[in-house]
Structure 1
Amino acid sequence: MDEFFKSGNYNLSPTIFFCATPPDDGNLCRFYKHSANFCYKLPDNVTYEEGALIEPLSVGIHACRRAGVTLGSSVLICGAGPIGLVCLLVAKAMGASQVVITDLSADRLVMAKELGADFPLTVKREDGPEELAKRVEGLLGAQPHITIECTGVESSVQTAIYATRPGGVVVLVGMGAAMTTVPLLNAALREVDIRGVFRYCNTWPMAISDAGL
């Protein structure tokens, strides 16, 4: 057990076995042995289908914790795919007052609206990052406290930085290219914190509790 496990940040340990992430094998088998310390019992009122969604929900919980979402936070979520949608659900559950969520797909944004997004925003590939940032500010009446970037696309990461208010937080959830061009000086001069997210840790009890509501 290394320092990352001892500090509770086991997701950062270079020795961790993360099931189904190469080179670690998955568990598509009849029986699977796993450490009891990392096993959690599903409540009787949670189905296996619902239980399967606890894993992506954990990503949303970890992202919102890293972002510091709290009562009254205004949040921009870039990307309305599965992870963007669970981030939306968790942000709202943690007290976010207004959430803008962006995507290229209008259909995804319809689902986002049904799940509680205040401002679904359709974007186009040719939209400029600074232009989109202005549109977000126009919808909220101010720049968001927090941006959760769930696409990993370079232009979307740029939008996330430009859109976030001075002193705010950008959390990078989406996995993009190894090298990405971003307006780092813009973030530095406005004290915008950029925080990474790698998987999750210590999220399962909350995720299971939320799933059982």
Structure 2
Amino acid sequence: MTDTLPDTMRASVMTGVETLRIEDRPVPTPGPREVLVEVAAVGVCGSDVHYYRHGRIGDFVVDDPMILGHELSGRIAAVGDGVDPGRIGQRVAVEPQHPCRRCTQCTAGRYNLCPEMKFYATPPIDGAFCRFVTIDDDMAHPVPDSMSDEAAALLEPLSVAITTMRKAGVAPGTSVLIAGAGPIGVICAQAARAFGAARIVVSDPVASRREGALRFGATEVLDPMTDDVSAIDPVDAFIDASGVPVAVVAGIKAVGPAGHVVLVGMGADEYPLPVSHIQNLEITVTGVFRYTDTWPAAIHLVASGAVDLDAMVTGRYDLEHAADALESDTDPDSLKSIVRPN
């Protein structure tokens, strides 16, 4: 906890494609039902990297300077009106979204689909590569002292994996195929194991990543460059964490009757699908866009030891080297890089 709050803070600001600079920004003031969080750790996500390299993701375009980073943890440094002052000093993991709470999607419980959503590091909303952020008080989730700051930050991608498991119908005894052994693929493998999947097949063309997948819960691995992924014994669910069209098609063909397909990876906007296979086997195909009500489950999975997020951290960087953190994905052995703003 910060005893005396400063007026300004350092922030790593994206000012153009592949361009970051350190700026002094005003420390934000928490509004009603908000808390001010002093950031401890920020995980680097593929979306951060995509904005950094390309300046956009689909219709989301970085037109003005923006702070990246949305996987974060920290400590509450101040509270706004209507928030218990006793929360000051509390360690929290931040759910980085601010829905309107009034629209049809919000009232139906799908606040992740709120058309008025303000999501960290999604243009034009600033993220967490800085010392302080504000968030709605109920989006600052208390974490146990046994959980590291880094693991608490990575509850965000674990939330993506939990949503994926729910949509894929993963339950004890089921079988799952995951395309891609990058950060999301590996965290999905861990989540599938925690949800009770008996068979977890992970496909990736990089040998070191396949080996990593085995350490994190995969029961078998495939090299899609030499193995016919579509010819494996049918699985109950296919999860794409690669964004590669050919991998998606092969994965769908590996799904058995009444199975589920969940698209998580960011890939091409459009590509052909094996429609007859989907239709004849009544396969459900859906996507994942963020999450709703996942932090309690994520905290439990980590606190209980069912998921190991600390072991996924392969790089640590200070704010001045945030660009190096964003470039770390070029190393095939890199899983999760952490930026520490303080």
TM-score, normalised by the number of residues in structure 1: 0.91
Structure 1 gaps, min length 5: 138-142
- Is residue 246 of structure 2 the alignment partner of residue 155 of structure 1? yes
**8 Å Cα contact 2:240/2:263 also seen in 1:** yes
Match of residue 204, structure 2, among 103, 114, 118: 103
Match of residue 120, structure 1, among 190, 206, 221: 221
**Aligned equivalents of 2:149 and 2:133: distance in 1?**
16
Instruction: Tell me the matched-pair count.
Output: 203
- Is residue 233 of structure 2 the alignment partner of residue 132 of structure 1? no
Match of residue 193, structure 1, among 284, 289, 314: 284
> What is the correspondence of 1:43-62 to structure 2 with a 5 Å cutoff?
43-62=144-163
TM superposition shift of 1:23: 2.7
TM superposition shift of 1:194: 0.4
Instruction: Return structure 1 stretches of 4+ with deviation > 3 angstroms.
Output: none
Match of residue 177, structure 1, among 257, 268, 272: 268
**8 Å Cα contact 1:79/1:149 also seen in 2:** yes
**Aligned equivalents of 1:73 and 1:48: distance in 2?**
33
Match of 2:120 in 1: 19
TM superposition shift of 1:185: 2.3
Give the secondary-structure state (helix, strand or coil) at the position aligned to 2:118: coil
Which structure has greater helix proportion? 1
**8 Å Cα contact 2:159/2:291 also seen in 1:** yes
**Aligned equivalents of 2:168 and 2:121: distance in 1?**
27
TM-score, normalised by the number of residues in structure 2: 0.57
Match of 2:297 in 1: 206
**Aligned equivalents of 1:30 and 1:113: distance in 2?**
36
Match of 2:136 in 1: 35
Give the residue type in structure 2 aligned to 1:147: F
**8 Å Cα contact 2:178/2:239 also seen in 1:** yes
**Aligned equivalents of 1:42 and 1:28: distance in 2?**
21
**Aligned equivalents of 2:216 and 2:128: distance in 1?**
31
**Aligned equivalents of 2:178 and 2:292: distance in 1?**
21
Give the residue type in structure 1 aligned to 2:241: C
Indicate the structure whose relative CO is greater, using CA pairs within 8 Å and at least 6 residues apart: 1
- Is residue 175 of structure 2 the alignment partner of residue 84 of structure 1? no
Structure 2 gaps, min length 5: 1-101, 305-342
CA deviations on 1:86-118 (whole Å, 9 max, x unpaired) are 111111111101111000111011111111211
**8 Å Cα contact 1:8/1:202 also seen in 2:** no
Q: Root-mean-square deviation (CA), in Å?
A: 1.3
TM superposition shift of 1:29: 2.1
- Is residue 195 of structure 2 the alignment partner of residue 94 of structure 1? yes
